A and B are shown apart, each in its own frame.
Chain A
C-alpha cells in the first residue's frame, strides 16, 4: 500500500492469505493499524473477518503473507518469541461463556495471563491484581470464586475483557464482542471498551457485522467481502459517501429506526448463490448492479479513491463521482 505514512503503523498486514482445504477464506488482505486508533472491521458471514482476527494472532495458519507487529513478523517468528509477544496482543471473543474454561473460577481465568508471564510471584499479589481488574470492569471483587455458568452473558464478557486487559496489551482485537448480548446491555460493554481504551491507550480492532455499533466506535473502517477487503475509509467518509457497491448495499439494507419504519420497500440485493464466490475476477460481480465485462476478468485491487479512502472496484472512479 504505497503512499501511506509507515512511521506509526503498529500492525501492518501484508498480502495475507488463508486457505481451509481448497477454499480460500482470506485473500490478499493488506492494511495498517495505527497506535491508539480503533479500526472497525465489518462484513457478513463468509467475509473472513473472524478468520482474519485469528490469522493475525496465529491461531489459524496463514499460507501466505506477513503480519508485522512493530516491525516483527508474527507469522514467521519462533514459538517462544510469539508467546512473549502475545502479551501485547489480546482478543475478546464473540461467545462470552464459551471463551471461559467452565472448570476454572473466573478469578483463575483472569489470573492466568499473570501466571503465564510470571511477573508477580505471590498469590496475594495476583489476587489483588485480579480483584482490581474485576472492579475495573464493573464486577464485584467477591465474585472471584464463582464459575462462568453462574454469570450472565454480559458479565461473562466483562470477565473476558478483564482477562484480555490485565496485562495492558497494546492491541485489543474484539471479535463480535456484543453480538450475542441483549441490546439493552450492548452499550455497557461497548462503553467499557471505550473507557479501557482511553485509559490504557491501546489500539483496537473491532470486528462486527453491526454497522451501527461500529460507527460509534471506530476511527476508520474496513469492509470485507468474500475474504477480501473491498473498502477502507475514515468513518465519516464511509457512512456519508460509500463507494464500493457492496458497502452501499450493506448500508441500504440496514432497517430504518423503528420510529421511522414504514412499509416502503428497501432495495434488495439478488440472492447470493450457495456456492463459493467466483475465484476469478471480482467476487461480488454476481450481485453487483454495476458489473461490467472487466469485473469477470480480473479481481480489482485496493486503490486510493481519495485521501485515506481505498476501494477495490474497477469502476470506483465513476462511482465516486456519481455519489450514493
Chain B
C-alpha cells in the first residue's frame, strides 16, 4: 500500500491540472466551512432593505441577495456545505457497499455472481427519477428518501467495477497460494482481493462524488430533496432559474460554484486515475 500511494502521489504532483483541481477543491471546502464567519449575514436572515440586490463588494452583501433579501454569499456557502456533505456521505456509503458487493460477486463467482449481477442490472435499469417521484408521492418529501436515492446512484457502478477487478484477480497465483495455505473465503476477500482492487476504486470514488452531488442537485432542483429554509446548491439553482432575467446573479453564484466544484472533482479524479494507472500489480 505504501509503495502504491507514494508512487501515485509523486505522479500526481507532476500533473498540474490535477494539482490545481485539488487546490480548488480544498479552497471551496475551506470556504464552505469557514466562509460564513467572514460575512456579517446569516443565511436565512431576511434583509428587506436589500431585496434582490446585485452583487457589490462594497455593500454588506458581496454576492447580492435573493428575492427574499437573503444574503447569497451565506446561502451559497450553506448550500455548498449541504451538497458536499451529502456527496461525501453518500459516496462513502456507496463505496463501502459497492466494494463489498462487487468483491464477493467477483471472487465467489458462479451462481452467486450471476444472481448478484442480475440484481444490479435490474436496479440499473430502473428509471430512478420516476422511482423517486413515485416514492415521494407515497411517503412525502423527506431527507431520508433523499439520502436513499442519492446513495442508490453511486454503488451500482462501484460494484460493477470492483467485480470486474475481482474477476481478474481471482485467477492469480497469490490467490491460489492463499487457498493452498488454508485461507477461507472471507479472509481471501478481505486480505487478498480487496487490497488489490483499491487502485481503480479510489479513482472511481472521486468520480462518484460529483456524480452524486449532481444527482442531489437535480433532485432538489425538481423539488424532491432539500426543503426550505434549508438550501442545497440544487435548490438555489432552482430558485435562480426563476429569476434568470431579472436577477441573474441568483442563478449564477450557486451555479458557478457547483460548476467549479464538479469540474475540479472530475479533473482531480482523472489525475488520480492517471497516477494509479501505471501500477505494478
Query: Are A and B direct contacts in the complex by CB distance below 8 Å?
Result: yes
Interface residues of A (CB under 8 A from B): 54, 57, 59, 83-84, 86-87, 89-91, 93, 95, 98-104, 112-113, 116-117, 147, 149, 160, 163
User: What is the number of residues of chain B that contact chain A, defined by CB distance less than 8 Å?
Assistant: 24
Determine if B115 is an interface residue (Cβ-Cβ < 8 Å): no
A86 close to B178 (CB less than 8 A) = no
CB contacts (< 8 Å) of A59 on chain B: these are 176, 179-180
Report whether A101 and B192 are in contact in the complex, using a CB–CB cutoff of 8 Å.
yes
Residue of B nearest to A87 (CB): B182
A/B interface sample: 19 pairs, CB < 8 A: A57-B180, A83-B182, A83-B184, A84-B182, A90-B180, A93-B177, A95-B173, A99-B173, A99-B174, A101-B174, A104-B191, A112-B178, A112-B183, A116-B181, A116-B184, A117-B182, A149-B280, A160-B177, A163-B181
Residues of chain B within 8 A (CB-CB) of A89 are 180
A-B complex: 3 closest residue pairs judged by Cβ atoms:
A86-B182, A103-B195, A98-B173
Task: Give the chain A neighbours of B196 by CB distance below 8 A.
Answer: 101-103
Looking at the assembled complex, report how far the CB atom of B173 sits from the nearest CB atom of chain A, in whole angstroms. Answer: 4
Partner among A84, A86, A95, A149 whose Cβ is within 8 Å of the Cβ of B180 = A86
Closest to A150 in B: B3
CB distance from B79 to the nearest CB of A (A): 40
**Is there an interface contact between B187 and A163, defined as CB atoms closer than 8 Å?**
no
Contact A54 B174 (CB under 8 A): no
> Are the C-beta atoms of B1 and A103 separated by less than 8 Å?
yes
Residue of A nearest to B176 (CB): A59
* Residue pair A93, B176 in contact (C-beta under 8 Å): yes
B181 in contact with A112 (CB, 8 Å): yes
B180-209: contact bitstring with A at CB < 8 Å (1 yes, 0 no)?
111110010001100110100000000000
Q: A54-B176, A93-B176, A116-B182 are in contact. List 20 more A-B contacts (CB 8 A).
A: A83-B182, A86-B181, A87-B182, A89-B180, A91-B180, A98-B172, A98-B173, A99-B173, A99-B176, A101-B191, A101-B195, A101-B196, A103-B198, A103-B281, A113-B182, A116-B184, A117-B182, A147-B2, A160-B177, A163-B181
B4: interface (CB < 8 Å): yes
What is the CA–CA distance of A89 and B174 in the complex, to the nearest angstrom?
16
Count of chain A to chain B residue pairs whose CB atoms are closer than 8 Å in the complex: 67
Collect the chain B residues with CB atoms within 8 Å of residue A98's CB: 172-174
Contacts of A93 in B (CB 8 A): 173, 176-177
A51 to B177, CA, bound (A): 14
B176 proximity list for chain A (CB < 8 A): 54, 59, 93, 99
Q: How far is the CB of B158 from chain A (nearest CB, A)?
A: 19
Question: Which residues of chain A are within 8 angstroms of B180 by Cβ–Cβ distance?
Answer: 57, 59, 86, 89-91
Q: Are B181 and A113 in contact (CB under 8 A)?
A: yes
Residues 140-172 of B at the A interface (beta carbon under 8 Å): 172
Q: For residue B181, which residue of chain A has the nearest CB?
A: A113
CA of A19 to CA of B4 in the docked complex: distance in angstroms? Answer: 39
Binding site for A on B (CB under 8 A): 1-4, 172-174, 176-184, 187, 191-192, 195-196, 198, 280-281
**Contact between chains at B177 and A100 (CB < 8 Å):** yes
**Interchain CB contact under 8 A, A149 and B3:** yes
Q: Min CB distance, B192 to chain A, in Å?
A: 6
Contact, CB under 8 Å: A116 / B174: no
With a CB–CB cut-off of 8 A, which chain B residues contact A91?
177, 180
**Neighbouring A residues of B173 by C-beta, 8 Å:** 93, 95, 98-99
CB proximity of B5 to chain A, nearest CB, Å: 11
Q: How far, in Å, is A137 (CB) from chain B's closest CB? A: 16
Contacts of A87 in B (CB 8 A): 182
Nearest-CB distance from A152 to chain B (Å)?
Answer: 15
Contact of B178 with A101 in the complex, beta carbons under 8 Å: yes
Give chain B nearest CB distance to A168 CB in angstroms.
Answer: 14
> Which A residue's beta carbon lies closest to that of B183?
A116
A163–B1 CB distance below 8 A: no
Chain B residues near A103 (CB-CB < 8 A) = 1, 4, 195-196, 198, 281
List of A residues within 8 angstroms of B3 by Cβ = 147, 149
The answer to whether B177 and A163 have CB atoms under 8 Å apart is: yes
Bound complex: CA A212 to CA B14 (Å): 51
Report A172 CB to chain B, min CB distance, Å. Answer: 11
Interfacial chain B residues near A113, Cβ < 8 Å: 181-182
A117 CB contacts on chain B under 8 angstroms: 182
Distance between B48 CB and nearest chain A CB, rounded to angstroms: 61
* Nearest CB in chain A: distance from B2 CB, A: 8
Contacts of A86 in B (CB 8 A): 180-182
Cα of A59 to Cα of B182 in the assembled complex, Å: 11
Cα A149 to Cα B2 with chains together (Å): 12
**Min CB–CB distance A165 → chain B (angstroms):** 12
CA distance A113 to B180 in the complex (A): 9
Most chain B CB neighbours (cut-off 10 Å) among A93, A112, A160: A112
Nearest-CB distance from B215 to chain A (Å)?
Answer: 32
**A116-B176 Cα distance, complex, nearest whole Å:** 15
A163 to B180, CA, bound (A): 11
- Residue numbers in A under 8 Å from B181 (CB-CB): 86, 90, 112-113, 116, 163
B225 CB, nearest partner CB in chain A, Å = 39
Q: How far is the CA of A57 from the CA of B181 in the complex (A)?
A: 10
Q: How far is the CA of A59 from the CA of B176 in the complex (A)?
A: 7
- Residue among B4, B176, B187 facing the most chain A CB atoms (10 A cut-off): B176
List A contacts of B195 (CB < 8 A): 101, 103-104
